Each structure stands twice: as structure tokens, then as C-alpha cells.
């Protein structure tokens, strides 16, 4: 199949999670946290990280979609906030699967900041710095990777491969 090559194994992911959770926990203020995940890509990483944090937490969701032709967001990002939950005055942790051009993350952060959280921290499973078009970074990064299109552990290609336990390089046949 076109996703045979494992870039990050299940063991590597599961080994990185507690260390990443400890790093995020150390940076978050004490008390309840509202964890916001960007659908759908962040969901598998997001629930694993959320459980590894072992804190008093609530969950919220944003749905991001890029419109226009092609697979690249190019800044044409639409964000659905229907299931975001209350942000104002709360300590918020934003989780996404991958930071690529940065358009989705930048727009999401703007929306969250406009709702005046008490604090906002950001965490992504993967970062592809070589692809960045917007000057933005995540506070916490699971893995920095080269410029590959990857699938698995939440990430898709046309909705396929999300439930793979590892991260693989997608190479069309």
C-alpha cells in the first residue's frame, strides 16, 4: 500500500507521550484546564495526551477545513467553533496533529485569544518547520520531522489511515 514506510513507530510515540505530558504539565498553571483539539487530525493524539496529563480537565473541539482546490490550506481556512466550550477566563491547552504551513494554527490561535482565556498553551504532535508560511510556533512539539506527507495516528489522506497506530510516509503509487 502507499503508506508502508514507518517514520515514527508506535513504540516511539508511546514513549514520547509521558515525557511530553510532563513538559506540558510543568508549563500549565495549576487547576482545571480546558483542552481544545482540532478535528479530526488531533483526536487520537489529543485523547492520549489528555489522559497522560492526569489532571482536572474539560474537552472542547474545533473543526478546521481548508477550502479551495488542492490539499494545501494556503490561508483559506474555515473554523467551526460550535463545540469549543467556554474559553473566557480559563487555562486553555490547544492540541493539533501537525504544524505545516501554519495557517490553520495561526487562525485558531487568533480565535481562541479573541475569547480571552486566562492562559493559552499550544502543543502539536509533529512540526514540519521547512513548510512554514506564517511566523508561528507551538509551545510543545512531540516530533520535528522533515518535509514528508505523513498519515496515521489521526492523520489522513482523503480520510484514510487515521487509525494506524504509527506515523507513516504517504507515497502515492
Using CA atoms, how far apart are residues 15 and 37, in angstroms rounded to an integer?
21
Quick check: is 100 catalytic?
Answer: yes
Could you say whether residue 169 binds ligand IMP (CB under 6 A)? no
Footprint on residues 112-151 left by ligand IMP (CB under 6 A): 149-151
Using CA atoms, how far apart are residues 54 and 37, in angstroms rounded to an integer?
17
Picked from Mg ion, ligand IMP, none, the partner binding residue 166 (CB below 5 to 8 A depending on kind) is none
Could you say whether residue 161 binds ligand IMP (CB under 6 A)? no
**What are φ and ψ of residue 48, in 5° steps?**
-65, -45
Interface stretch with ligand IMP, choices 26-34, 85-93, 94-102, 108-116 (CB under 6 A): 94-102
Q: By the 8 A CB rule, do 142 and 30 touch?
A: no
**Catalytic pick among 96, 97, 100, 127:** 100
Could you say whether residue 154 binds Mg ion (CB under 5 A)? no
Q: Which residue is nearest to Mg ion (CB)?
A: 41
Grid cell listed for 19? 515525557
Residue with cell 467553533: 81
Radius of gyration from C-alpha coordinates of the chain:
15
Could you say whether residue 154 binds ligand IMP (CB under 6 A)? no
From the list 168, 167, 141, 155, the residue with the least C-alpha distance to 43 is 155
Binding site for ligand IMP (CB under 6 A): 41, 73, 96-105, 149-151, 155
Active site residues: 100
Amino acid at each position: 500500500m502507499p503508506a508502508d514506510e514507518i517514520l515514527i513507530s508506535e513504540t516511539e510515540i508511546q514513549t514520547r507521550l509521558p515525557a511530553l505530558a510532563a513538559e506540558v504539565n510543568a508549563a500549565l498553571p495549576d487547576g482545571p484546564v480546558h483542552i481544545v483539539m482540532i478535528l479530526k487530525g488531533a483526536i487520537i493524539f489529543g485523547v492520549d495526551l489528555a489522559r497522560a496529563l492526569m489532571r482536572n480537565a474539560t474537552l472542547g473541539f474545533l473543526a478546521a477545513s481548508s477550502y479551495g482546490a488542492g490539499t494545501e490550506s494556503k490561508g483559506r481556512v474555515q473554523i467551526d467553533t460550535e463545540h469549543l466550550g467556554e474559553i473566557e477566563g480559563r487555562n486553555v491547552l490547544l492540541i493539533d496533529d501537525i504544524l505545516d504551513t501554519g495557517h490553520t494554527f495561526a487562525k485558531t490561535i487568533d480565535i481562541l485569544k479573541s475569547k480571552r482565556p486566562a492562559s493559552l498553551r499550544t502543543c502539536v504532535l509533529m512540526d514540519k518547520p521547512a513548510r512554514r508560511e506564517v511566523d508561528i510556533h507551538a509551545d510543545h512539539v512531540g516530533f520535528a520531522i522533515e518535509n514528508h506527507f505523513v498519515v496515521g495516528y489521526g492523520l489522513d489522506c482523503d480520510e484514510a489511515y487515521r487509525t494506524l497506530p504509527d506515523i507513516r510516509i504517504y507515497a502515492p503509487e
